[in-house]
Amino acid sequence: MLIPGLPEHRVVRFSLGLLLVIAVAAVVGPWMSPHDYTAVNFDALKRPPSAEHWFGTDDLGRDLFVRTMMGIRVTLIVAVVASLVSLVIGILYGAIAGLIGGRVDAVMMRLVDALFALPFVFFVILLVVVFDNNFYLVFLAIGVVNWLDMARIVRGQTLSLREREFVDAARLAGVGTPGLIVRHIAPNLIGVVIVYLTLSVPQVILMESFLSFLGLGVQEPQTSLGGLVDIGVSQLETASWILLIPAAALAVILMCFNFLGDGLRDALDARSRAS
Amino acid sequence: MSLLEVDGLSVVYGEKAVVDNLSFQLDRGESLGLVGESGAGKTQAALALMGLAHPAADVRGDIRFDGQTLTGLSERELNRVRATRIAMVFQDPLQALNPYVRVGDQLARILIEHRLADGRVARDRVIAMLERVGLAHPERQFSAFPHELSGGMRQRAMIAAALVTEPDVLIADEPTTALDVTVQAQILELLEALRDDTALLLITHDLGVVSGHCERTLVMSGGQKVEEGNTRSLFLSPSHPHTQAMVDAAPRLGAVPSPPRPRTEPVLRTSELDVDYGEHRAVQSAELTLLKGETLAIVGESGSGKSSLVRAVLGLLPASAGEVVFLGRRLGESVAERRGMTLVFQDPIASLNPQMRVRDSVAEPLRARGEADVKQRVIDMLQRVGLDERFLERYPHQLSGGQAQRVAIARAVITSPDVLVCDEAVAALDGRVRRQILELLSSLQAETGLSIVFISHDLATVEGFSHRVMVMHEGRVVEVADAAELFARPVHAQTRALLAAVPSPDPAA
Amino acid sequence: MLRYTLGRLLGAIPTVLLVIVLAFALVRSAPGGPFDAERVVPPATEAQLRAYYNLDAPLPEQFFDYLAGLLRGDFGPSFRYTDQTVSELIASSFPISMLLGSLALLLALLVGVPAGILAALRPNTLTDRLVMALAMSGISIPVFVFAPILVLVFAVHLNWFPAGWSSSGGISRMVLPVVALALPQIAYVARLSRASLIDVLNSDFIRTARAQGLSEASIIRYHALKPAMLPVVSYLGPAVAIVLTGSVIVEEVFGVPGIGQYFVRGALNRDYTLVLGIVIFYAVLIIVANLIVDLVYSWLDPRIRNG
């Protein structure tokens, strides 16, 4: 993809493939099962995995397969939407600071430094406490607090690109600021942005599942992987699959994103070193 | 039997041999120059001698040192030879010294590791060595961190590190390439003065360096030895065409007379121009006049302000004071007013957008003026600079340094500018390519009446090429004269120092 | 160096103020009053309560009163724990959280750094792959999954350590919470140490040291270790924040009466003053930790120290 023959390349492709499979399963899975993810069934409490209930049932007799697929859906949607929110804010903020430079940049980055020292998780909790458990708020809150890394990276890249000789050459060739951004800065930013987007997704997933685990995120009957793990913990001693199945799904998704991000970063590093 | 005998040395990465069947000998106390263009395999060969070839490389052949075969030795056994018997000096002392460890401690560690001295004794020996390499206040420099020393001082410390163990062989890999010309001369003299009966293997791309300092010379190309022999006879009558081409292309003073200045009007003039970086004044009241159709060379060491001056003229840096008059108009700060002035940079690859094809890079100045249908003009321009249609679709990383510089020149002159500024435009190129680029610039000038500002740290490069020369030193213009006059009768001490420091590729009579 | 230290100290003050303003504004922008959601309170009682919690004064005055209280170490009364102030709750619960957190960070360094170095010295060998696979699991399995599994294995099945937090438990009750808290940090530190050491070992000055005939051990000890550990040092700032977050979970799972548990209870019970107080307390803690890390870093890096 970026560099052929890298050992990471295989891991990247495998992770990407597995994530696609998981995402498709999460979309299609609930339709293929006769069970509804909210349907309580007191005749089938805590059933272990079987042909009827592929992943077993939980303490209220709900089908765990459908619930896990729904949980993955919510988790992935939160991850993607929140990452996009942080991406947009981060790129705009970072690019503006990097392009204008000078005093504006100094002030904007002082602010980012100050915000960096804030305990964001706790601010999100405060936000959730104050504004009640609002599903959309969770997206927004996580996205809003996650843009700092992206802003720093984009700003740093922009600043160093701005100093690059080919940008000077383009300015001297009479290319105006819009042309510089569109043709010279942006195309050279894309690689870094993709890498850090990939690396920020697992952080977002962790934060969402953390909140749901504490009962502060997605609310019943909606569920996410964090919420499922929370229920699983309470049934740990008698029905461990209720914990282990959603926990495994969460870990696999996180691992795929981490491998993907690592691999892409290595490939990008190798490319920048080679050029 | 020689001290060091290399027999059939090859360094192979996969299919590619970067060093191919290299053989040579080095006697005790002798000095051998290993010269070649970039990519000739010189550094790879030296690293293989030290047992430091890249782990992915396959090293073949035989290296015998003082009767002992080095190839195939374990790290432990090699460590007994390294430093104490064979020491090495690297090109860039800033990178090659550990920034986190005091200079003196880095040197003392060598003595301690090889059980040559310990504690106070080691410290005293290091301080004595620092003094021998000409560092003032050696006790203070002992406790300094590398970033606190200047480039020349760092390279002196590096040499001290190599010689403190009194090795039998010193391998110096481009020891002066990262340094200013005047410092370069001092470092080479120092190496010569200190090495006593230590044999020297001096690796360089610069024939001038070898010619003054090595008894014998070995020329490499494409990983292979092309010629070897007594330096004097090898340079006076090279037997291999590659050596001949290198000798011909080497910059030397007095080889080509400078062209006389054209009798034309000025196109560009600055007066009382100041440029500041924060508190630091990079350029102080610079006066510059550029005539139509002439080449004005601006020469000076790094930090002399030559780049800052032209960047301010081009509007890439703000000037703090003074004025720039271009074609009779006084210019403000914007780049837009500079239509008619273009720039060619030192690093040709870096000056091309890695994501843009050659076609788009060369067409960009035309498109920025709103001109459509530029394809044929781009092809014509590429042909004019010695490339052809096959290069249209290439990306910068698919070009060699010389090709990339031709593309950069094509981009710079496609709009028929009045002034072309070349900022060390040939410094990163090998001798022959350098000559070709200079010839290209001259012929473009002859055809179009282009005025060229040519920045260089090297007087020998500009002599046959420029009509007038301007020397800068510590932010000031210290001398301006017609080139022929300046080379014949330099007035300012800095000009004389720069002239004296140019290494001559011709063996001393 | 002194100037740098003073500059950083002064620079932290606006950050602390920003935290207080943000947190205070957030709580006060809650839709409706703090008692709305609960059962109906007689108007007279509500007026009393409003006066007690200083809700009647204009907002700026409330803020400056609160700020003045903070300067005296007074975080005001709790909404739910009627017989204790927020300051008392923090003072009683923080020491145990601090102890667990410090032990976890210490464990992370003691295990993570050697593991990372070991992997870096043998890149792409079995050892390296194993360490990195474990580390990848460590960063991919969240604390709230790890902690219950530790309980299941080591408390329920093996019965080596207590599952909960008994008041008489001694050291053994701390083992599982500390390990749960430390695991992700061990993984991060190991990955960071490995990447950083590999990077340093590829630098030119290490090649110089090799050319000087220094043994691998000397190269690591005298040339590579310090620069390789700098990124680990700067990671300790963020690590404090992550461990604080993790402690919220771990205290919940193990029933540790630490500050994190009060925080979760406060959040679930809408104890505005308690949550506000703890957020500010955490923020100051993290800012101070970052400050210390910055100073240590600049002291370790000669280019900053005298630059």
Please give, rounded to a whole number of angstroms, the shortest distance from the CA of C212 to a CA of chain B: 5
A202 in reach of chain C (CB within 8 A): yes
List CB contacts of C25: < 8 A, sequence separation 6 or more: none
Binary contact (A172, B397; C-beta < 8 A):
no
Percent of chain B with pLDDT over 70: 100
- Please name the residue that has the structure tokens 């106390």: B29
Determine whether the interchain pair C213/B88 forms a contact, defined as Cβ–Cβ distance below 8 Å.
no
**pLDDT tops 50 at residue B487:** yes
Contact residues on chain A for B353, CB-CB shorter than 8 A: 166, 170, 183-184, 187-188
| Identity of residue A103 | R
**SS3 label, residue B136:** coil
Q: Is A166 at the interface with chain B, CB within 8 A?
A: yes
pLDDT of B47 > 90? The answer is yes
Nearest 5 degrees, angle CA A167-CA A173-CA A175?
Answer: 70
Chain A residues in contact with C270 by the CB 8 A cut-off are 129
Q: What is the mean pLDDT of residues A212-241?
A: 81
- Answer whether B411 sits within 8 Å of A183, measured CB to CB: no
As a whole number, mean pLDDT of residues B221-239 equals 91
Q: Is the pLDDT of residue A239 over 70?
A: yes
CA distance B16 to chain A (A): 17
Looking at the complex, report in whole angstroms how far the Cα of residue C267 sits from the nearest Cα belonging to chain B.
47
Q: What is the pLDDT averaged over residues B134-144? A: 91
CA distances from B170 to A42, B53, B132 (A): 86, 17, 17
Task: Please give the DSSP secondary-structure letter assigned to residue B371.
Answer: -
Amino acid in position C230: L
Mean pLDDT of A185-205: 86
Tell me how far apart the alpha carbons of residues C143 and C181 are, in angstroms, rounded to a whole number: 7
Contact between C284 and C12 (Cβ < 8 Å): no
**Residue B97 confidence (pLDDT) above 90:** yes
pLDDT digits (tens, 9 = 90+) for B311-321: 999 988 889 99
Mutation choice for B interface testing from C124, C208, C221 by most B CBs within 10 A: C208
**Measured distance CA(B303)–CA(B275) in Å, rounded:** 13
Q: B412: Cβ–Cβ under 8 A, 6 or more apart, which residues?
A: B342, B343, B344, B420
What CA–CA distance (Å, rounded) separates B147 from B28?
35
Closest CA to B454 of B432, B446, B464: B464
- Report whether pLDDT(A218) > 90: no
Nearest alpha-carbon partner for A29 in A75, A77, A67: A67
**How near does any CA of chain B get to the CA of A72, in Å?**
37
Find the mean pLDDT for residues B170-182. 86
State mean pLDDT over B64-75.
90
Task: Note whether B80 contacts C: Cβ–Cβ < 8 A.
Answer: yes
Chain B, window 411-430: residues with a beta carbon less than 8 angstroms from a chain A beta carbon: 411, 415
Provide the pLDDT confidence category of residue A6 given band limits of 50, 70 and 90. Answer: very low
pLDDT, tens digit (0-9, with 9 covering 90-100), for A36-76: 777 777 777 777 887 777 787 777 778 888 888 888 998 89
pLDDT in tens, C253-299: 888 889 988 888 888 887 888 888 888 888 888 888 888 888 888 88
* Secondary structure of residue B442 in the 3-state scheme: helix
Question: Residue range B455-471: average pLDDT?
Answer: 89
Beta bridge partners of B477: B472
Lowest-confidence pick of A174-183, B21-30, B360-369: A174-183
Contact B345 A176 (CB under 8 A): no
Q: Which chain C positions have a beta carbon within 8 Å of A210's beta carbon?
A: 142, 144, 245, 249
* pLDDT tens by residue, C270-280: 788 888 888 88
Give the pTM.
Answer: 0.84
Quick: pLDDT tens for C146-178. Answer: 888 888 888 878 888 887 777 766 777 888 899
pLDDT tens digits, residue range C53-99?
677 777 788 888 888 888 888 888 887 777 888 888 898 889 999 99
Indicate the pairing of strand B451-456 with strand B419-423: parallel
Across the interface, whether the CB atoms of A214 and C252 are under 8 A apart is answered yes
Examine the pLDDT at A4 and tell me if it is beyond 50: no
Select from B336, B354, B411 the Cβ nearest to the Cβ of A275: B354
The answer, for C136 touching chain A at a CB cutoff of 8 Å, is yes
pLDDT given at position A136: 73
Mean of all residue pLDDT scores within chain C: 85
Residue B509's pLDDT band (boundaries 50, 70, 90)?
very low
B-chain residues near A171 (CB < 8 A)? 316, 335
How does B166-202 read in b/e, with b if 16+ C-beta sit within 10 Å?
ebbbbbbbbbbebbbbebbbbbbebbeebbeebbbbb
Q: Is the peptide bond before B505 cis (omega within 30 degrees of 0)?
A: no
Chain A within 8 Å of C287 (Cβ-Cβ)? Answer: yes
φ and ψ of B198, to 5 deg: -75, 130
Q: How far is A115 from chain C (nearest CA, A)?
A: 7
Cβ distance B52 to C218 less than 8 Å, yes or no, reads no
Q: Which of B404-413, B489-498, C278-287 is least confident?
A: C278-287
* B96 interfaces chain C, CB cutoff of 8 Å: yes
| CB-neighbour burial class of residue A70 (10 A; exposed 0-12, middle 13-18, buried 19+) | buried
C98-123 pLDDT per residue, tens: 999 999 999 999 999 999 999 999 88
Instruction: Name the pLDDT band for A5 (thresholds 50, 70, 90).
Output: very low
CB contact under 8 A, B355 and A165: no
A touches which chains (3+ CB pairs under 8 A)? B, C
Is any Cβ of chain A less than 8 angstroms from the Cβ of C198? Answer: no
Cβ separation B338–A165 shorter than 8 A? no
User: Mutating which of C20, C144, C199, C272 best tests the A interface, going by the most A Cβ atoms within 10 A?
Assistant: C144
Choose the closest CB to A130 out of C26, C249, C290.
C26
Question: Between chains, do B353 and A168 touch, taking CB under 8 Å as contact?
Answer: no
Calpha distance C28→A130 (Å, rounded): 9
| pLDDT attached to residue A147 | 85
Nearest partner of B37 among B488, B429, B471, judged by Cα: B429
Task: Please report the ipTM that was assigned to this predicted complex.
Answer: 0.82
SS3 B324: strand
Q: Can you give the pLDDT at residue B201?
A: 95
Report the DSSP pairing between strands B468-473 and B476-482: antiparallel
Average pLDDT taken over every residue of chain B: 90
Average pLDDT over residues A172-191: 87
Res. A3 pLDDT band, cuts 50 70 90: very low
Determine the Cα–Cα distance for residues B30 and C41; give it in Å rounded to an integer.
101
- Asked whether residue B162 carries a pLDDT value surpassing 60, the answer given is yes
Q: Which of A117, A121, A125 sits opposite C15 (nearest CB)?
A: A117
Contact list, C306 vs chain B (CB under 8 Å) = 145, 148
Q: Do B76 and C203 touch (CB under 8 A)?
A: no
pLDDT score of C169: 67
Task: Please tell me which residue, B445 or A44, carries the higher pLDDT value.
Answer: B445
* C213–B145 C-beta distance less than 8 A: no
Q: Sorting pLDDT into bands at 50, 70 and 90, what band is B269?
A: very high
Instruction: Report yes or no: C132 at the A interface, CB cutoff 8 Å.
Output: no
Query: Which one is predicted more confidently, C251 or C5?
Result: C251
Amino acid in the structure at residue C56:
D
- The answer to whether the CB of A73 falls within 8 A of the CB of A208 is no
Q: Do A210 and C145 touch (CB under 8 A)?
A: no
- CA nearest neighbour of B395 among B344, B429, B361, B433: B361
For residue B170, give the chain C residue with the closest CA.
Answer: C211
B347 lies within 8 A of chain A by CB: yes
Q: Please list every residue in chain C whose beta carbon sits closer than 8 Å to the beta carbon of residue A202.
A: 139-140
Is A221 near chain B, with CB under 8 Å? no
> Testing the interface with A: which of B311, B339, B355 to mutate, by most A Cβ within 10 A?
B355
> Tell me: the pLDDT tens digits for C209-245?
999 999 999 999 999 999 999 999 989 988 888 888 8
Alpha carbon dihedral A213, A217, A219, A222, in 10-degree steps, equals: -90
- Residue that wins the pLDDT comparison between A44 and B263: B263
Give the highest mean pLDDT range of B184-193, B442-451, C168-177. B442-451
CB-nearest to C156 from A125, A214, A237 is A237
Question: Which candidate from B83, B98, B105 shows the least CB-CB separation from C213?
Answer: B83
The pair phi, psi for residue B230, each rounded to 5°, is -55, 130
Q: pLDDT over 90 for what percent of chain C?
A: 31
- Predicted confidence at residue A272, as pLDDT, reads 61
Is C19 in CB contact (< 8 Å) with chain A? Answer: yes
Looking at beta carbons, which residues of chain A come within 8 Å of C267?
125-126, 128-129, 214, 216
Phi and psi torsions of C31, nearest 5°: -65, 130
Give the pLDDT confidence score for residue B192 in this predicted structure: 87
Q: For residue C154, what pLDDT is reported?
A: 86
Record: contact C249-A240, CB cut-off 8 A: no
Residue C133 touches chain A, beta carbons under 8 Å: no
Question: C116 versus B505: which is more confidently predicted?
Answer: C116
Give yes or no for residue A13 having a pLDDT over 50.
yes
Q: Which of A107-116, B299-308, B311-320 has the lowest mean pLDDT?
A: A107-116
In this structure, which long-range contacts are made by residues B444-450, counting pairs with CB atoms below 8 Å and at least 24 apart in sequence? B444/B384, B444/B409, B444/B413, B444/B420, B445/B293, B445/B295, B448/B413, B448/B416, B449/B292, B449/B293, B450/B293, B450/B413, B450/B417, B450/B418, B450/B419, B450/B420
| Residue C267 to residue A119, Cβ atoms within 8 A | no
pLDDT band at B379 (very low <50, low <70, confident <90, very high): very high
Among chain C residues, CA nearest to B47: C211
Q: Does A10 touch chain B (CB under 8 A)?
A: no
- Alpha-carbon Rg for chain A, nearest whole angstrom, is 22
Percent of chain B having pLDDT more than 90? 59
